[in-house]
Chain A
Amino acid sequence: MASTKRLAALLAIASIVVGACGTSGQTASPAGESVAPTTPAASAEVTPAPSAGAETYPRNETLYTTGKQWGPPSTWNPLDPNAAMGTVGLQYESLLLYDPLADTWDPWLAESATWTDPTTYTIKTRSGVTWSDGTPFTADDVAFTIGLGKIKAVGWNIWDYVTEATATDASTVVVKFSDPAYQEWALWTYDKPILPRHIWESKANEDILTDTNANGVGTGPYKYKTAAEDRMVYERNETWWAKAALGLEAKPRYIVDIVNGANNVALGLLMQGGIDLSNNFLPGIATLVDNGYVSTYFPEAPYMLSGNTAWLVTNDKKPPLDDPQFRLAIAHAVNVPDIVNKVYGNIVKAADPTGLLPTWEKYVDTAQRDALGFKYDPAKAASLLDAAGYKKGGDGFYTNKDGSPIKLTIMVPTGWSDWEAARDVIVASLIAAGINAEARIVDYNGLVDARNNFDFDLVVNNEVQISNTPWTYYDYMFRLPLMEGAGKNRNYGGYENPEAWALVQQLDKTPVDDVAAMQAITSKLQKISLTEMPVIPLWYNGMWSQVSNVVWTNWPSDGANRILPATWNGYWQMGAVKMLTQLQLVQP
């Protein structure tokens, strides 16, 4: 039988591979090694599927992306945070764009937006913009969208400080504030989408989130084409306003976003040129970059931009973790260099002791940080503990001050392999420093439940993404009153410091352009975080992004194209949409 022969052949190959793995003692190497390293581009000649010629989306007109979608695209409602990749950013647009790399604001749907006095914000809407159904975009749409924030389920809290939003003429919106939260409002102007009044007026009630809004009407460079269980497809909006207004043109005619699968799938597709941009965390990607198969933002370590800070969150309500000195000792005890080098292979960077992301560098009070900041130093950890009055028990581990043993547990979600490896390093380095610790194995939902109800010692978390303002960072760290239960998403450790929280609120109410005032406040906040250690900054998680240069090129990089290379929620409005206008075909 032919089939048995093929089977036998396959088995023979399989057994050879097993043998090879066995003798060399290595884990399965990345698929790339079998392709000649000198000609990575040659792999493009092979089309993976036997469907060439009949494609609905021709390869040289299509951009394949992956990384954002963890489940089937199921809603395109721009008000739902669960909306499909690109709903906000590609289909719906914001008033402004904010570029964290250059720290600049770009007028987008707003031609200009300024504070005309301390409590009045005047928005001039861009002329010549039309919704994808042909209706002109006007100031009315903007005023209406701001008004949507009054609906509780929308989840915006702008009406805590906005008092009025009116369209005074076809292209002007005047927003009145009582006590304006300038930082939060600035975040709103680029993070949130503007919706067409003529479509959404009838939907504007408490059930607004139940509308899945497939094939919606937006202003953006792309329109909904189709969606399936494992993909989301966009088609270019040929009448996008930015072509005439800014000379920008989205290059790919189609964008196919593939729902995340197993790592081997994303890696395989990327290597074959089946995916152009992958925003997945792929272990060992540095090797592939060094061998020229894929590219990243930086050509060498750290390869990726920093996207968020990974902290060790301590349960500040529970002895001995309620003692700042003990937390400081932990900060000195954790072997972060090992996490960066061994766990991540240098695709991440160690965090600044303040934890502030590199894009917030100008807010770091460097003199203060150098004086108060921690670094990996087990001897210092021991001396801190000794000075604070902790004694070692018979087993060589430090005990509580009442003599009872200490055994800390650390949670990371099961299956997050890089974090699991980092956790093992943390456990080992704590034990080496005389602090007994062990891993607590728990799945994501169990972790969330334990974390939200103060049933933990240590947990790794990274929930503050890059943004326009360090306020988001400190709001997370110091938020009061404490939240608890489902929906808790700030200050997991339960650190209570009214003075710090007052500073955070003061920061929120500082004008965005008053950098000196922001620096003064953040300096005080840094002092508190460096001496009290409410959370312990460990490393910066990367803005995972690896690209193939097989079909498209001129990707964001540290050279001429300083653009965020990410498809995740919120990143399009942080300038990533310009990546699509910069792309070039390898073979036009």
Chain B
Amino acid sequence: MRRYFGRKLLIYGLTFFVAATINWMIPRFMPGDPVQSLLSRHQVAPEAVPHLIAYYNALFGLDQPLWQQYLNFWGSLLNGDLGRSVYQSGRPVTEVILAALPYTLGLLIPAILLSWWAGNKFGAIAARRRYLDNAVLPIGYILSAAPYMWLAIMVAWILGSVLRIFPISGGYSYALEPSLTWAFAVDLFAHWVMPFLSLFMVMFGGWAIGMRNMIIYELDADYSRYLDALGAPSGLVRRYAFRNAVLPQVTGLALQLGVIVAGALVTEIVFSYPGLGKLLLAAVQNEDYFLLQGIFLFVIIGTLIANFLVDIAYVLLDPRTRVGMSGGSA
């Protein structure tokens, strides 16, 4: 057991180092630099331009040689400092990200987990009921194949513009200030529903189809037929089939949790939801090295944690993993 997790942790550590390095390098390969991007958006007197370039380069440490910048990056990272956002006027990146993170997590974790749970349940049931199968399968395909951007705009249009049930943009009403009141909580929830729903619908379709196909496959497998032939109750057969069918879904879940930030990007843009995805787009558009690094660091950490949790989940769900760990030949 300890060797299994020790090996895993070592791999995670290496992955983190390599990913963080790549993540430091990539923005710097983009044409231009953040200071050029910043200055290009304002008409400064040409006489003042050289001074401003020098000022900003010194402020963000971009006047140092690249290798020094790389060392500085690790130095401050180990001190928990992600640097300062260029396009947000030197605001600490940690602060910028922490302000956006709750919106993204609050949106994606429920959407992913609920759609996973509901999709699996639904898919499993659909696999055994013809009339449900006929309904769920096309709906699932439509949901998972529709361009997400379009689907989200349709949701916004129907529920927001036509029926006017939910507000169409923002994290909370533009007429409110955050406070610990019912009114604010209700408002926060109202703004959360549409982005959540659009994500839920799309992911639900994917999970339901996946589970339905897996169950049909497992019910057709030799062990199921054998159990059937032995006269085992169909509930028992289904339970075994479900346990096998759920394993790939768990892996899929881990991947979903890992790309949590990228997953929310379009949602947050369509609904103007102030989360990490929107921030990521702005960081790219402004070549904000430090903000990009910071956000991707969260993605990396998120992926690694999700993978780790799945490793643990596998141990619990799949006896074969346990056998492998205790030295049995697998």
Q: Which residues of A come within 8 Å of B, CB atoms?
A: 7-8, 10-11, 13-15, 17, 28, 31, 34, 46, 48-51, 53-59, 62, 64, 70-72, 74-75, 77, 80-82, 152-157, 160, 206, 209-210, 212, 226, 228-231, 233, 256, 258-259, 261-262, 264-265, 268-269, 271-272, 274, 443-446, 448-450, 452, 463-465, 479, 483, 485-490
**Which of B46-54, B213-221, B317-325 is found at the contact surface with chain A?**
B46-54
Q: Are A152 and B164 in contact (CB under 8 A)?
A: no
Partner of A226, one of B37, B50, B177: B177
Enumerate 8 A-B pairs (CB-CB under 8 Å) in ascending A order: A10-B158, A56-B176, A72-B88, A209-B55, A261-B169, A268-B156, A448-B32, A449-B36
Which chain B residues lie closer than 8 Å to A75 at the CB level?
88-90
Q: Would B99 and A487 count as touching, CB distance under 8 A?
A: no
Bound-state Cα–Cα, A13 to B100, Å: 33
Write the chain B residue with the least CB distance to A43: B164
Which residues from chain B contact A13 at a C-beta distance below 8 Å? Answer: 158
Contact B176 A479 (CB under 8 A): no
Contacts A157-B47, A444-B285 hold; do A64 and B174 have CB atoms under 8 A apart?
yes
For A49, A81, A233, A261, the residue with the greatest tally of chain B CB atoms inside 10 Å of its CB is A49
Chain B contacts for A489, CB-based, 8 A? 39-40, 43-44, 46, 49
Contacts of A155 in B (CB 8 A): 44-45, 48, 51-52
User: Once the chains are docked, how many angstroms separate the CA of A77 from the CA of B33?
Assistant: 23
| A residues in contact with B87, CB < 8 Å | 71, 74, 82
Give 1 or 0 for each of B55-82: 1 = CB within 8 Å of chain A CB.
Answer: 1000100000000000000000000000
Is residue B25 contacting chain A, with contact meaning CB distance below 8 A?
no
Which 6 pairs from chain A and chain B are nearest by CB?
A54-B183, A261-B272, A486-B36, A75-B89, A152-B51, A81-B42
Known A265-B271, A452-B36; contact A256-B48, beta-carbon cutoff 8 A? no
Contact B36 A46 (CB under 8 A): no
What sequence of 0s and 1s flags, for each residue 137-171 of chain B, a beta carbon within 8 Å of any chain A beta carbon?
Answer: 00100110000000101111110111010011111
In the bound complex, CA of A11 to CA of B141 (Å): 12
Instruction: Please report the number of residue pairs spanning A and B whose Cβ atoms sit closer than 8 angstroms.
Output: 219
A82 to B143, CA, bound (A): 42
In the complex the two chains form, is B52's CB within 8 Å of A230's CB? no
Asked whether B52 lies within 8 Å of A265 as measured between CB atoms, the reply is no
The reply on B191 being an interface residue by CB < 8 A is yes
**B285→A81 contact, CB < 8 A:** no
Cα of A160 to Cα of B156 in the assembled complex, Å: 54
Residue of B nearest to A48 (CB): B167
Partner pick for B164 among A206, A228, A229, A272, CB 8 A cutoff = A272
Interface SS majority for chain B: helix
B-chain residues with CB within 8 Å of residue A483 when the two chains form the complex: 46, 49
CB pair B161–A51 under 8 Å, yes or no, is: no
Contact A264 B175 (CB under 8 A): no
Contact partners of B160 in chain A: CB under 8 A: 48, 268
Q: What is the chain B residue whose CB lies nearest that of A483?
A: B46
Residues of B within 8 A of A264 (CB): 153, 156, 270
B274 touches A229 (CB 8 A): yes
Q: Is the CB of A55 within 8 A of B49?
A: no
A129 to chain B, nearest CB (A): 28
| B138 and chain A: residue at smallest CB distance | A11
Q: Is the CB of A74 within 8 A of B89?
A: yes
Q: Do the beta carbons of A156 and B175 come within 8 Å of each other?
A: no
Q: Is residue B108 contacting chain A, with contact meaning CB distance below 8 A?
A: no
Give Cα distance in the complex from A160 to B43, angstroms.
18
* A487-B170 in contact (CB<8A): no
- Say yes or no: B170 contacts A48, CB within 8 Å: no
By a CB distance below 8 angstroms, the chain B residues around A450 are 31
Kindly state the separation between the CA atoms of A226 and B184 in the bound complex, as whole angstroms: 16
Candidates A14, A53, A488; contact of B158 at CB < 8 Å: A14
Residues of A within 8 A of B128 (CB): none
In the bound complex, residues from chain A placing their C-beta under 8 Å from that of B51 are 152-153, 155
CA–CA, A274 to B272, complex, Å? 14
Please give, as numbers and ranges, the residues of chain B lying within 8 Å of A231 by CB-CB distance.
Answer: 170, 174
**B164 near A48 (CB under 8 angstroms)?**
yes
When the two chains form their complex, are residues B45 and A157 in contact, meaning their CB atoms are under 8 A apart? yes
B166 to chain A, nearest CB (A): 8
Q: Write the B249-282 contact mask toward A (1 if CB under 8 angstroms, else 0).
A: 0000000000000000000011110100000001
A13 to chain B, nearest CB (A): 6
Contacts of A156 in B (CB 8 A): 45, 48
- The yes or no answer to B105 lying at the interface (CB within 8 A) is no
Contact B43 A463 (CB under 8 A): yes
* Contacts A51-B176, A54-B176, A230-B171; A487 near B53 (Cβ below 8 A): yes
**A82 vs B43: C-alpha distance when bound (angstroms):** 11
A152 interface neighbour in B30, B48, B89, Cβ under 8 Å? B48
Q: Which residues of B contact A261 (CB under 8 A)?
A: 169, 269, 272
* B187 contact set on A, CB distance < 8 A: 49-51, 54
Question: Is B286 an interface residue, CB under 8 A from the partner?
Answer: yes
Q: Is B173 located at the chain interface by the 8 A CB criterion?
A: yes
Give the docked Cα–Cα distance between A57 and B172 (Å).
Answer: 13
Enumerate chain A residues within 8 angstroms of B135, measured Cβ to Cβ: 8
**B100-138 residues at the A interface, CB under 8 angstroms:** 100, 135
Cβ contacts under 8 Å, A58 to chain B: 175
Q: Give 12 new A-B contacts, CB below 8 A, not counting A49-B173, A80-B89, A152-B55.
A: A15-B142, A48-B160, A54-B184, A82-B87, A157-B47, A233-B177, A256-B175, A264-B270, A265-B270, A268-B169, A486-B33, A486-B53
CA distance A49 to B191 in the complex (A): 8
A80 contacts which chain B residues (CB < 8 A)?
89
